[in-house]
Amino acid sequence: MTEKIELTRNDRLSVAWRSQFLQGSWNYERMQNVGWAYTLIPAIKKLYTTKEDRTAALKRHLEFFNTHPYVASPIIGVTLALEEERANGAAIDDTAIQGVKIGMMGPLAGIGDPVFWFTVRPILGALGASLALSGNILGPILFFVLWNLIRMSFIWYTQEFGYRAGSAITQDLSGGLLKDITKGASILGMFILAVLVERWVSIKFAVSLPAKKLAEGAYINFPNGSVTGGKLQQILADQASGLSLTKMAPNTLQANLDSLIPGLMGLLLTFLAMWLLKKKVSPIVMIIGIFIFGILMRVLHIM
C-alpha cells in the first residue's frame, strides 16, 4: 500500500475558484460538462498519476451536467470526496460517481433558482436600484459587494460541507433545515415581490373627470373688497388647515383609483401577465406588446 493521497485545502480552494467558470463553455449538447471538467482538473492532477487513470477521470467528468452554478459547489465537494477515496483504492465505479452527480443536480437546481435568482438577487437588486435611481453610487456598490460576499461564502462553505460529508450529504439534503430555507425564501420572496409590484409598476392615468363641487365650508369664502390684517391671517390659517381655494375640486381618474389602494392597476397588470404566462404567451411578446400599448395610450392621451 502506498501513502494515502489527500486533497489539501489549497487544492480545494483552487477547485472552488475554478467552479466560478463552470458555465463558460455552456453548450447545447452536454451543457456545463467542459466547465465541470475544467473545475475538477486540479484535483484529477493531484489524485491520478498514470495516463490511463487521468484519461478515464477526464472522460467521466465530461459527461452531461447542468445545475444552478452556485449549488454545483456541494456536488463538487461530494465528487472530490468520492474521487479521493477511489484514488486511494476504494471500489467506487464510474456509475456511482455519475449517479451522485445526476442525482443531486436536479433537486439542488430546484433550490438554487428560487433562492438566488428569485429571492436574493431581486431583493439586493431592488435595494441597489432604488438608491441608484436618484444617482446614489451606494446603490451599485451595495449590490455588488453584498452579492459577492454571499455568493463566495456560499460556494466555499457548501463545497467544504460536501467534501466532509461525502456521499452522506444526500441524506442531509432531505432534512428539515433545507425545507425551512426554501419555505422561508419563498415567504420572503412573495412579500418583497408584492412590495416591488406596489412601488415600481407605474401606471398613471392622465384622464381628468368632471370637477367636484365642494360643500359649503370646505373652501375659503373670499370676501369682496379689501381684506384686513385679521381676515388675511384667518384666510391663511384656513388654507394651512387644508381648505380649498376654489369652489371646485379638480378630480382625476388616478386620484380615485389611488383612494382604493395605491398601485392597484399595477397589481392587476401583474396578475394579467401571470395569467398570460400560464397560457404560454412568451414574455418577450408581452414586453413588446406593453410598449405598443404605452405608445397608443400616449397618443390617445389616456396615460
Partner 1 sequence: MSIIAMVLVVIIAFFAGMEGILDEFQIHQPLVSATLIGLVTGHLTAGIMLGGSLQMIALGWANIGAAVAPDIALASVASSIIMVKGGNFTSTGIGVAVASAIPLAVAGLFLTMIVRTIAVGLTHGADAAAKEGKYQTIERLHLVGILLQGLRIAIPAGLLIAIPASAVQAALTAMPDWLTGGMTIGGGMVVAVGYAMVINMMATREVWPFFAIGFALAAVSQLTLIALGAIGVSLALIYINLSKMGGNNGGGSNGGNSGDPVGDILNQY
Instruction: Tell me which residues in 174-233 interact with partner 1 (CB under 8 A).
Output: 174-176, 178-180, 182-204
Q: List the one residue out of 13, 10, 39 whose CA is nearest residue 24.
A: 39
Q: Tell whether residue 252 is a contact of partner 1 (CB under 8 A).
A: no
**How far apart are CB 180 and partner 1 at their closest, in Å?**
5
**Could you give the angle at the alpha carbon of 127 between the alpha carbons of 123 and 129, nearest 5°?**
115
Show contacts with partner 1 in window 123-142 (CB under 8 A): 123, 125-137, 139-140
Residue 17 buriedness (CB in 10 A; 0-12 / 13-18 / 19+): middle
147, 157, 161, 219: which one contacts partner 1 (CB under 8 A)? 147
**How far apart are CB 79 and partner 1 at their closest, in Å?**
16
Whether 184 and 281 have beta carbons less than 8 Å apart is answered as: no
Q: Tell whether residue 110 is a contact of partner 1 (CB under 8 A).
A: yes
**How far apart are CB 137 and partner 1 at their closest, in Å?**
6
Question: Could you tell me how many residues of this chain bind partner 1 (CB under 8 A)?
Answer: 122
218, 245, 248, 290: which one contacts partner 1 (CB under 8 A)? 290
Show contacts with partner 1 in window 6-35 (CB under 8 A): 20-31, 33-35
Angstrom CA distances, 204 to 194, 198, 199, 212, 291, stand at 19, 13, 13, 20, 15
**How far apart are CB 128 and partner 1 at their closest, in Å?**
5
**Quick check: helix, strand or coil at residue 208?**
strand
H/E run at residue 96:
helix 94-112
Q: Tell whether residue 95 is a contact of partner 1 (CB under 8 A).
A: no
Q: Where are the beta strands (DSSP E) in 48-186?
A: none
Q: Tell whether residue 109 is a contact of partner 1 (CB under 8 A).
A: yes
Sequence-distant (6+) residues with CB within 8 A of 151 are 70, 116
Span near partner 1 by CB under 8 A; candidates 87-95, 226-234, 248-256, 278-286: 278-286
